[in-house]
Amino acid sequence: MTVKLEGNWAKGFAYDVHTLGSVYQGLDEFGHKRYDTTRTEMGGLVYKLKYRNDKSVTKEIVDLLSKYKGIGKFDAIIPAPSSNKSRSYQPADEIALELGKRMGVNVLIGFLEKKEDSKELKNITDPEERIQELKKAIFISSERNISGQKVLLLDDLYRSGATLSVSTDILYKQAKVSDVSVLTMTKTKSNR
């Protein structure tokens, strides 16, 4: 199942939703809420890659993506800038590298970056405030000229779309690309 993503990009899709349902299980020994969550196939793979540090699922993720032909042709894949620099690897980078290798497309890791001192967005619920924080945080960190190119902006998880929206603006206005398509592995039900 693909989910169309609306935004300032030319085309945008999530391969699938992230979860099918979640049942509250009570509190754990630390007082944190626990849920029994049912994930889609892609949602389960993204969860393993992102939260269980299981890089072995990257090929499975790209196998699923390879079946989807809705985005079209592009000159480069650009992973969305990461908000969690403490990870030993970035899930979107891993997926982009494998997808680029299979498709014979350049992957521009680190083309877009977030400033180290930027605010964490998890706790910002106001959509406009999120956008303003991201406009201050995201920047082009590469000298590479991609003017006039068609790019695929790739992320593992679509929540509010704020990061992808700001990144798309930067790619159009500063990098002068001709076309931005967006592909995420999953879309959450929550948008914050």
9-68 pLDDT tens trace: 999 999 999 988 889 999 999 999 998 889 999 999 999 999 899 999 999 999 998 877
Say yes or no to pLDDT of 192 above 60.
no
Q: Which amino acid is at 147?
A: S
Q: For position 88, what pLDDT does the model report? A: 76
pLDDT tens for each residue of 74-113: 999 999 998 777 777 899 999 999 999 998 999 999 999 9
Question: Following DSSP, what letter does each residue of 43-55 receive, concatenated?
Answer: HHHHHHHHHS--G
Q: Checking DSSP bridges between strand 76-79 and strand 106-107, what pairing results, if any?
A: parallel
Where does the pLDDT of residue 70 fall: very low under 50, low under 70, confident under 90, or very high at 90 and above?
low
Domains in the chain, ordered, with CATH? 3-187 (3.40.50)
Residues sharing a CB contact under 8 Å with residue 60, sequence separation 6 or more, in sequence order: 45
For residues 138-162, give the mean pLDDT. 94
Task: Classify burial at 183, counting beta carbons within 10 Å of its beta carbon; exposed 0-12, middle 13-18, buried 19 or more.
Answer: buried
Give 120's DSSP letter.
Answer: P
Q: For position 71, what pLDDT does the model report? A: 62
Residue 88: count other Cβ atoms within 10 Å of its Cβ: 6
- Dist CA 192 CA 181 (whole Å): 22
Residues sharing a CB contact under 8 Å with residue 133, sequence separation 6 or more, in sequence order: 118, 119, 121, 124
For residues 136-158, give the mean pLDDT. 94
Token duo for residue 20: 């099918």
